[in-house]
Amino acid sequence: MAVPKRKVSKARRDKRRSNVWKLGAPTLAECPQCHALKAPHKACPECGYVNADLSVKDGKITVKAAAAKKEEAKVVEETVAVEETEAVEEASAE
Ligand SMILES: [Zn+2]
């Protein structure tokens, strides 16, 4: 049988018996899309809303048009940058 190694002090015993360990109510925020209560900074369990550009539903992540356009713009910028470096390399080779 397991036996306590030390006597539990009055302070420790009384702290355990006090209501310090009672659980508080969870903080909830309203979902801006469906107005259900949800945990803040988490995807909404009702509609899957994360933010304007992103939603998660049934394990599927949906990236909306605005975010997709941003990605496209980034790719175009990168292509332009590559072309510029190639042009510079050609010029220096001559
Ligand atoms: Zn929602």
Q: Rounded to a whole number, what is the largest CA-CA distance in the chain?
A: 88
Per-residue model confidence (pLDDT) at position 51: 83
Distance of CA 58 from the midpoint of ligand 1 (Å): 13
- Whole-number Å distance, alpha carbon 44 to ligand 1 midpoint, is 5
For 54, the token pair is 């992103």
What local confidence, expressed as pLDDT, does residue 10 receive? 96
pTM, entire model: 0.42
Distance 41 CA to ligand 1 centre (A): 12
**Domain ranges across the chain:** 26-63, 64-94
Q: Which of 20, 51, 53 is closest to 38 using CA atoms?
A: 51
Closest CA to 46 of 32, 34, 64, 62: 34
With 70 as the cut, is the pLDDT of residue 73 above it?
no
Question: Shortest CA distance to 54 belongs to which of 40, 71, 68?
Answer: 68
